[in-house]
Amino acid sequence: MARLNRIRQTRYLPPLVLLLWGWVLVWSTVSARLDLLLNALFHPVVAIAGFVLMVLGAVQLRFASRLKTPLAPLSWLISIAVACLVLLFPPSPSFSDLAANRSENLPEAPRLSFFLPPEQRTLTEWVRLLRSQPDPNLHAGDPVRISGFVLQRRGSQPQLARLTVRCCLADATPAGLPIDWPATADPKPDEWLAIEGTMTTKMRDGLLINVVKPSTITAIPRPERPLEP
């Protein structure tokens, strides 16, 4: 306990906390860790915030020897421990688990891509298009080339999905397409797949819906930027 109190009394503790957290923010940006957590539009904001914290920490560190510092709160030491854990253990969120507990109210598209050739539409663009034009027969027979993770909701067949975010995972919304999985397929939650095939229609629960009929299914690595705006 005495050693802990001596650490809390050191005048170098506050600037070191600022430097450490500044480095966490900058490193998370340059190492692409933020791609799993945050919309890419906000990455520069995080990097700038980290740089500012590091500058403030460096300034405080320079003048620390002239200052008298009271006993630092224990939360500062906890903050250091958390920062070290963030550096040591990269985030690995389960997109399927997250998406299974979210509504499917997609945010407004940043741009409309309805006039793209069908095979150039992303999965999210397909979902937005089908919701805006509810007649399933309009796009039956169109070629499809999409990629995403396997979304497994309780009591329903696996879909291929992507997560859209306005800001970060806290407001993430899933965009999923039904897939007519072949008998030999064994899709696993969170597995990333690239699918080429055809948009078809099928009756499910008394409703005519669009379903992707795959011609090829390929396992792929998780993209560097798996979140979509």
**Contact between 125 and 147 (Cβ < 8 Å):** no
0.85 exceeded by the pTM?
Answer: no
CATH of domain 96-228: 2.40.50
Query: Where does CATH 2.40.50 sit in the chain?
Result: 96-228
Band (109; pLDDT cuts 50, 70, 90): low
**Facing residues of 144 across strands?**
197
The mean pLDDT value of the chain amounts to: 86
Band (103; pLDDT cuts 50, 70, 90): low
pLDDT at 8 over 90: no
Task: Calculate mean pLDDT across residues 20-29.
Answer: 94
How far is it, in rounded angstroms, from Cα 171 to Cα 169? 5
For 115-136, write each residue's pLDDT tens digit.
778 889 999 999 988 988 879 9
Q: What percent of the chain has pLDDT over 90?
A: 48
* Most confident residue range from 67-71, 93-97, 220-224: 220-224
141 CB-contact burial (10 Å; exposed 0-12 / middle 13-18 / buried 19+):
exposed
For 151-208, write each residue's pLDDT tens digit.
998 888 999 999 998 888 888 889 999 999 999 999 999 999 999 999 999 998 888 9
Helix axes 74-88, 2-9, angle to 10 degrees: 90
Q: Which two tokens stand for residue 196?
A: 């080429």
pLDDT at 108 over 70: no
